[in-house]
Amino acid sequence: MSTVIVACKIPSGLNLGDGIVLIGPKPLIPGQPYESRPGGFILNRGIDAVVWERWVKANADSAAVQGNLVYGHENYGVVYNWCRSHAKSRSGFEQAS
C-alpha cells in the first residue's frame, strides 16, 4: 500500500472516509509536550494514498483545499517545505493569544 504524509491545519481534524481521520492542531498547553508543527500544521503519516487522492478529487473546491489547510505528498521534505511556505494560512479557529 502506498502512503502519503498529510498536513492538516483544521483544529477539529478531517474525516477522509474509510476510517481515516486526520489529526489537526490542538491548543498548546504550557509545560506539556507537543509534536513538531511546521507552519502550524500537524503532519499525519501513513495515510493511504488512494484514500487521500479520492478525497482531494471529491473535495477540490472545498475551503480546506482552496484555503491551503490540507496538503499531502509522499515525500516528507516536500510536505514540510509546503507547510512552512503556507504558515499564514488561517482556518478561522486559531487559538487566541
Largest separation between any pair of C-alpha atoms in the chain? 41
pLDDT at residue number 31: 66
pLDDT at residue number 34: 57
* Grouped pLDDT means (10 residues each) for the chain, 97 residues: 93 91 77 71 94 97 94 96 90 61
> Of all helices (H) and strands (E), which one includes residue 63?
helix 63-66
Q: Distance between CA atoms of 29 and 90, rounded to whole angstroms?
A: 20
pLDDT at residue number 80: 95
Q: Could you tell me the pTM of the whole model? A: 0.85
pLDDT at residue number 30: 67
pLDDT tens track for 41-54: 999 999 999 999 99
Nearest in space to 82 (alpha carbons), one of 38, 37, 23: 38
Q: Hey, what's the cell of 86? A: 503556507
Nearest in space to 7 (alpha carbons), one of 50, 58, 56: 56
